[in-house]
Amino acid sequence: MLAFATLAVVAVLAMSPAAAAGTPGTVPVRLGDTLTAIAARNHTTVAALAAANGITDPDRIVAGTVLRLPAPSAPSGAGGGQAAGANAPGAPLTVVVHLGDTLTAIAARNHTTVAALAAANGITNPNRIVAGTVLRLPVSTMALASYSAPVPGTGTGAGGFSDPGVLPAPLRSHPERLALAPAFRQAAGAAGVPASLLEALCWWESGWQAGVVSSAGAVGVCQLEPATTSFVRTTLLRQPTLDPRVAPQNITMGAAYLAYLLRQTGGDQRLALAGYYAGLASVRAHGMSSATKNYVEGIMAYAAVFARAG
């Protein structure tokens, strides 16, 4: 799989001085390099590098090769990103089984059913689960925004709303998630982004759940991919010890990256959100796909709800 290319360079060629130095928009492959390491250093993804250079086997790259960079500096997506396959509609999130957990308790915490969890994970005996096991959450019932915008005036509404100015029911019923509200306000204020936009983005991405990890490795409340975490730590905030697994730090990094995208787009919130999802370079080059439009419009609708709810 592209996302897990880790093998080192398998052949060595003599590099010319030009190849060793690279040219704007390119990077030379050095002895011992992996595509994963090159992607991380240049704030992109293995998939994007492979696509830009016609690489069919990302575990096999040759020292001396000069690779084209798919984007100038920033990662192609942060989490929920279409380009990296994280958290798009239909992609699962995961939870870890803790000591003493039961499938019934896990299902209740994540607003799904024992039957759905068992089916999603091939569990034949729901009374026997092992601590440390990583379970896939059924997308259709997991406690996120359901990938649909709030619908006022429809009784319960999508995402558990009974009123367009009331927070979603799954959020109101989980004090540990509501407890993150001050972290959102603090991070948004420090980054100079609307708190309601950040809150809505992370509601759509994770349901304000700190422990979720997407199938592409996006982590936590803001669903930060490894390349984005590296970019924010080293380039935006210059705080290399920030831990995406710690909810307030994850939110701080998500706010910083959203602020970066807003600066890059001249404050265009919709374009910034599209960049968070699909990669700004891709959106500028190809426009918004239907999935990206759904993501953007859904978050904008939730942002209005969070703003009214205060």
Q: Is the dihedral of CA 243, 244, 249, 254 positive or negative?
A: positive
Q: Which residues, other chains included, contact 271 with Cβ-Cβ below 8 Å and sequence gap of 6+? A: 261, 265, 280, 283
Distance CA 107, CA 143 (A): 10
The answer to whether residues 302 and 214 belong to one domain is: yes
pLDDT given for residue 165 in this prediction = 54
The burial class, CB within 10 Å (0-12 / 13-18 / 19+), for 56 is exposed
pLDDT given for residue 236 in this prediction = 95
pLDDT given for residue 27 in this prediction = 83
Whether the full predicted model's pTM is greater than 0.75, yes or no, is: no
pLDDT given for residue 112 in this prediction = 65
The answer to whether residues 96 and 211 belong to one domain is: no
**Domain assignment of residue 96, given as a range:** 92-138
Nearest residue to 303 via CA among 265, 272, 269, 277: 269
Q: Which residues, other chains included, contact 9 with Cβ-Cβ below 8 Å and sequence gap of 6+? A: 29, 30, 31, 32, 33, 34, 61, 62, 63
The answer to whether residues 22 and 57 belong to one domain is: yes
Distance CA 177, CA 51 (A): 38
- Residue 149 located in a structural domain: no
The answer to whether residues 119 and 196 belong to one domain is: no
Distance CA 94, CA 210 (A): 11
- Residue 284 located in a structural domain: yes
Token duo for residue 190: 């420090």
The answer to whether residues 100 and 235 belong to one domain is: no
- pLDDT, one tens digit for every residue, the chain (310 residues): 333 333 333 333 333 333 334 455 788 888 877 777 777 676 666 767 777 787 877 777 887 888 887 644 455 544 544 333 333 333 346 777 888 888 877 876 665 667 777 777 888 888 888 888 888 776 433 334 444 455 443 333 444 444 445 777 778 888 888 999 999 999 999 999 999 999 999 988 888 988 887 766 788 999 998 889 999 999 999 999 999 999 999 999 999 999 999 999 999 999 999 999 888 888 898 888 877 887 888 889 889 889 888 7
Q: Are 193 and 224 in contact (CB under 8 A)?
A: no
- Chain position carrying tokens 């359901």: 146
The answer to whether residues 199 and 115 belong to one domain is: no
CATH number assigned to the domain comprising residue 64: 3.10.350.10
* φ/ψ (deg, to 5) at 142: -70, 160
Distance CA 33, CA 173 (A): 48
Q: Total structural domains in the chain?
A: 3
pLDDT given for residue 152 in this prediction = 44
pLDDT given for residue 108 in this prediction = 67
